[in-house]
Amino acid sequence: MVILMDRYDVLVVGGGIAGSVGARFCAEYGLDTLLIEKDEVPRHKCCSGIQFPYFERLVGSKIPRNKLCKNELYKVQMVTPDDEIMDAKMDMLNFWRSTFDHWLNEEAERYGAEFRDSTELVDFRKQNGGWTCKLKDQDGDRKIYSKYLMAADGGYSQIRKKLRPGDFGQESTGAAINLYFRGDQGELDDNTLYMIHKKEFSTLMFSWIYRKDEDWIIGTGADHDPMGHLERFYKYVLDNYGIDGKIVKKKGFSSTQNDNLWLGRDNLLFIGDSAGLVDLYRGVGMDAGALSARFGARAIHEAEEKNGKAAVDRYRSHMSRIVKQKIKHDKIQRKRYASDETLKKSLSKGTLMKDGIKLILFQKINKILPPEKMVLLPP
């Protein structure tokens, strides 16, 4: 008996930043592309939703104003372990991931990808040089065949877990929690991103406060006891900024994935968080997710057009600069957060001044570079 299955050139799993951008560019290259998202959209994603302006060029479409928060962010205030305060101007994009990712899903569709939400990849296996994939939606299970698989299923990647279970531990390697606060904002400014560098509040990177429409987001991350770190940080915010109100929501994210990067094999490409691209030194991951998605789509297109190198080898070579930067930053961040002394040294006025000048310079350079050549900031 012959079972007929729907066939695609590319199945993109995960309708977040990486998956949506990946699907959009695959479709633009003329590849028959299916993008699936397991949740109903717009879906919530625990994320600060803050990016540099160059992110718009990375995702490839002009962002409509109504996809961004009402309050813009254009100032940064850093607090050092010694309570020194440093202010700077920096334009940022501020958005809710639910709204933004939904818009990106629609952009992928507009460029020709087929998009299905409430559709989960539940299993896959290699067959005839491609992938037979079992999908589950409201109507039950069904199989499709795709020549390429783009894994954009985030930091909990089940695709990666199936292929490389050793990349995941038993315990969480890091967790981040956001409190959504409403009420009297005290001394907090609507247009400022507050970055508080104190190891008592976060063992991994800075803790944060910023506004998104009606909500103030107060959050932090830690590699152990995240709740204890959050409670200390929340008390610090209450004591230092004079806010008065209530927490309306609490959302967290934790992962057991170790920090190894893996870009895939044969015709299976990992993009975004599933590849391990979050950069704690930079404090962001969406830009690397979008850029990896563009490179992934390009690698598949090139593998289809030219004989020879496999898509994953092409992808690895396009990504080499990003991978090098991420490995370098991981080392710097580990060293920086090793002790209060190393953290203080990394936030000295001289170092920050030097970093600030580099940031301004590369922001200007990025404006003229083609998206695939742009430097992910801070460099």
Ligand X SMILES: Cc1cc2nc3c(=O)[nH]c(=O)nc-3n(C[C@H](O)[C@H](O)[C@H](O)COP(=O)(O)OP(=O)(O)OC[C@H]3O[C@@H](n4cnc5c(N)ncnc54)[C@H](O)[C@@H]3O)c2cc1C
For ligand X, the binding residues (CB under 6 A) are 13-19, 36-39, 43, 45-51, 120-121, 152-154, 158, 176, 178, 219, 253, 272-273, 278, 284-287, 289
Question: Cβ distance 18 to 285 under 8 Å?
Answer: no
Nearer to ligand X, 76 or 344 (CB): 76
Q: How many residues does the chain have?
A: 379
Minimum distance, C-beta of residue 287 to ligand X, in the bound complex (Å): 6
Nearer to ligand X, 48 or 257 (CB): 48
Minimum distance, C-beta of residue 208 to ligand X, in the bound complex (Å): 8
Tally of helices (H runs) and strands (E runs) in the chain? 9, 16
Minimum distance, C-beta of residue 371 to ligand X, in the bound complex (Å): 16
Tell which residue, 238, 191, 200, has the closest CA to residue 218. Answer: 238
Minimum distance, C-beta of residue 177 to ligand X, in the bound complex (Å): 7
Tell which residue, 365, 377, 314, has the closest CA to residue 51. Answer: 377
Nearer to ligand X, 100 or 236 (CB): 100
Nearer to ligand X, 126 or 349 (CB): 126
Nearer to ligand X, 19 or 296 (CB): 19
Minimum distance, C-beta of residue 14 to ligand X, in the bound complex (Å): 3
Nearer to ligand X, 253 or 281 (CB): 253
344 three-state secondary structure: helix
Minimum distance, C-beta of residue 335 to ligand X, in the bound complex (Å): 22
How far is CA 274 from each of CA 23, 27, 103, 242, 292, rounded to the nearest angstrom? 16, 21, 21, 39, 11
Nearer to ligand X, 133 or 312 (CB): 133
Instruction: Name residue 347's amino acid.
Output: L
Helix locations, the chain, DSSP H: 17-28, 55-59, 97-110, 158-163, 226-241, 286-305, 311-336, 340-346, 349-368
Instruction: Name residue 53's amino acid.
Output: P
Minimum distance, C-beta of residue 104 to ligand X, in the bound complex (Å): 9
| Distance, CA of 134 to CA of 36 (rounded, Å) | 12
| Distance, CA of 131 to CA of 143 (rounded, Å) | 10
Q: Specify whether the backbone of 186 is left (phi greater than 0), alpha (psi in -120 to 50) or beta.
A: left
Nearer to ligand X, 53 or 342 (CB): 53
All residues at 6 or more sequence positions from 362 whose CB lies less than 8 Å from its CB, including other chains: 375, 377, 378, 379
Minimum distance, C-beta of residue 209 to ligand X, in the bound complex (Å): 13
59 three-state secondary structure: helix
Nearer to ligand X, 340 or 363 (CB): 363
Nearer to ligand X, 46 or 247 (CB): 46
CB atoms within 10 A of CB 79: 20
Question: Cβ distance 37 to 43 under 8 Å?
Answer: yes
Q: Is 156 exposed, middle or buried (0-12, 13-18, 19+ CB in 10 A)?
A: middle
Minimum distance, C-beta of residue 331 to ligand X, in the bound complex (Å): 19
Minimum distance, C-beta of residue 265 to ligand X, in the bound complex (Å): 18
